[in-house]
Amino acid sequence: MIFICVKWKVKPEHAEAWPEITREFTEATRAEPGNLFFEWSRSLDDPDTYVLIEAFKDDAAEAHVTSEHFRKAQADLPAYLPETPKVRNVRMDGDHWDELGEFRVG
């Protein structure tokens, strides 16, 4: 799978509304055939920063970045951001979450 983690710094006046601002993009991406997950979290240290973790089947990432909803996000979302988002992108084996071996429950 292709695993991507993106840090989105949002202008303070738009931080509360960010989940709604990105709702259409999020829902369209989650509906893509090759999407494994697309999940937003808000930083506890900086309420103006959101972290997006997403994953795609190996052959699905190109379809994502060439989709109409991705192009729309490229055009619309920068107005809400003070800087270009930061990203890490890696290929990983499998398409699932592993259990944390160093921490056991039960």
List the chain pLDDT tens, one digit each, 106 residues. 999 999 999 999 999 999 999 999 999 999 999 999 999 999 999 999 999 999 999 888 888 999 999 999 999 999 999 999 999 999 999 988 899 999 999 8
CATH architecture of 1-54+81-93: 2-Layer Sandwich (3.30)
pTM for this predicted structure: 0.91
Q: What is the pLDDT of residue 60?
A: 85
Nearest to 34 by CA among 56, 66, 67: 56
Burial class of residue 34 (count of CB atoms within 10 Å of its CB; 0-12, 13-18, 19+): middle
Nearest to 36 by CA among 55, 58, 63: 55
Q: Please give the structure tokens belonging to residue 50.
A: 């959101």
Separation CA 25–CA 47 (nearest Å): 21
Domain boundaries, the chain: 1-54+81-93
